[in-house]
Every structure is written in C-alpha cells, then in structure tokens.
C-alpha cells in the first residue's frame, strides 16, 4: 500500500466502559472475524497509516491480548473515568515526532473501511488554506473520525486536561474546520446500544460476534463471560 502524501497518525480510542451496551463490550465485538479493536489495525495498515496509537483504559486486560504482535503503541489511560477527552489527550501525547496530523478514531465506527480512511486523508491534504481540522459530514450530520493538524495537537496538549481537550478546541475554533462532505454514511454509524448492534446486523446481513471468540448471539444477548488469556 502506498503511503499518503501527508503523514497522518491514528489515535484509536478503546478505553471506554460501554455503559449502554447491556453488558456487551463494544471493543471486542467481532466483524469480519476480528474484534473491532484489532480490525482497526488492519484498516490502518490498508489505508497506509503506519503510526498507530491505541488508548485503553477500562479493564485493559480484555484488550491487551488482542493487540499482541501488532506494531501499535499501546497507552493505558489511568484517567479514563474522567471521560473520553482524557483518552484523546493520552493518545496525542504519545504521537511520534514528525507526523503532520492525528486522526482520532472511535473504536465502534463499525462500517468504516480503509477506503473511507484514505478519503479523509486525501481531503485533509487538499483542505482549504487557513483550515487545520477536518470533520466528516454526510447529509448534514457530523461524523467521526476527526483529523487535527500537528499545530492543533500542540495547542491542545499545551492547554491541558482542564481546557476541555480537542472537543473544546473544535467548538471554539469553527473557522479552522474543513467540513468534508463524505461519500457515504459510514462515518455516522457507531454502536452505543444493543439496538444499534441489531440495526447494523440487519444492514450487513450477517451477525456481529459478541466476544473475542467471534461467536454470534442474538442482539441484546449477554456475553458468555470468557476473557482472553495473557
């Protein structure tokens, strides 16, 4: 895979508690035979993204075995109960030198593929002068992931946790945002509830596995309690 003209690093947020998922852990739901958190590593590779940071927090022992053998940098965010922006900052702090931008990715964007990621990177590279952030939109709705330039990353890190993180920067700097009209709604579809899982299953025409083993159960079923070893 040819790497993009701009060096964009990925920060994958996989530290949350999945509170509304009825006992399911969205990070370990399986699509295409892979847990979502591991599937993302393949998508980044296929999109030409070489620099990958994975931020874990809640029950990291569930996730760390799924990342074994990968080249990703794994960050354990001990402050994950403080909210998503604490994980964003933890990931941004771990970025390697020399990257042009950071793509902040939610682990439950289940429909996004490598082509979608390349679309965003190309749009960021071609963004209008004076903009330093890219946010995908489709049909008037805002989606994820967001791409922030290295300059924005530096400002967000300098401002620190109490500033509200990247979310607050986006809110207070609207003129720096390039609103990219995406070709599909993949950037809008995430998994917050068992009903979301069932809806995506209907769209895919196939079941989503409820655990790291990839075993499929009816939507809303409780996980089987097994955990990865290691």
pLDDT at 225: 30
**Are the beta carbons of 216 and 171 closer than 8 angstroms?**
no
Q: What is the pLDDT of residues 63-96, one digit of tens each?
A: 999 999 999 999 999 888 888 899 999 999 999 9
Is the per-residue pLDDT at 216 higher than 70?
no
Helices (H) and strands (E) in the chain, counts: 6, 10
Q: What is the pLDDT of residues 142-161, one digit of tens each?
A: 999 999 999 999 999 999 87
pLDDT at 16: 77
Q: Say how many residues make up the chain.
A: 230
Mean pLDDT of the chain: 88
pLDDT at 2: 53
Give domain limits for the chain: 8-204
pLDDT at 32: 86
Q: Rounded to 5, what percent of the chain is helix, strand, coil? A: 35, 20, 45
Candidate CATH numbers 3.90.550.10, 3.30.429.10, 3.40.50.360, 3.40.50.2300; the one for domain 8-204: 3.90.550.10
Nearest-CA neighbor of 179 among 119, 118, 136, 117? 136
Question: What is the rounded average pLDDT of the residues 19-44?
Answer: 90
pLDDT at 4: 56
What is the distance between the alpha carbons of residues 185 and 139, in angstroms, rounded to a whole number? 8
Q: What is the pLDDT of residues 124-143, one digit of tens each?
A: 999 999 999 999 999 999 99
What is the distance between the alpha carbons of residues 138 and 141, in angstroms, rounded to a whole number? 5
Is the per-residue pLDDT at 6 higher than 80?
yes
In the 8-state DSSP scheme, what is residue 192? Answer: -
**With 0-12 CB in 10 A as exposed, 13-18 as middle and 19+ as buried, what is 30?**
buried
Inter-axis angle of helices 150-159 and 165-172, nearest 10: 110
Question: What is the rounded average pLDDT of the residues 100-111?
Answer: 97
Is the per-residue pLDDT at 229 higher than 70?
no
Bond preceding residue 145 cis, omega within 30 of 0: yes
């Amino acid at each position: 895979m040819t790497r993009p003209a701009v060096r964009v690093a990925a920060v994958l947020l996989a530290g949350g508690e999945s509170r509304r998922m009825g006992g399911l852990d969205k990070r370990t739901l399986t699509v295409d035979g892979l847990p979502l958190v591991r599937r993302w590593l393949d998508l980044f590779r296929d999109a030409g993204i070489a620099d990958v940071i994975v931020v874990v927090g809640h029950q990291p022992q569930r996730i760390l075995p799924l990342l074994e053998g990968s080249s990703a940098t794994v960050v354990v965010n001990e402050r994950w109960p403080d909210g998503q922006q604490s994980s964003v900052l933890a990931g941004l702090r771990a970025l390697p030198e020399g990257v042009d931008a950071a793509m902040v990715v939610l682990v439950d964007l289940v429909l996004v593929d490598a082509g979608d990621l390349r679309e965003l990177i190309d749009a960021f590279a071609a963004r209008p002068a004076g903009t330093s952030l890219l946010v995908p939109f489709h049909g008037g709705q805002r989606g994820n992931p967001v791409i922030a330039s290295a300059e924005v990353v530096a400002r967000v890190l300098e401002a620190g946790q109490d500033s509200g993180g990247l979310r607050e920067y986006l809110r207070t700097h609207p003129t720096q945002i390039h609103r990219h009209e995406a070709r599909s709604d993949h950037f809008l579809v995430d998994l917050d509830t068992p009903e979301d899982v069932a809806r995506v299953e209907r769209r895919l025409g196939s079941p989503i596995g409820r655990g790291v083993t990839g075993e499929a159960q009816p939507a809303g079923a409780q996980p089987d309690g097994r955990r990865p070893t290691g």
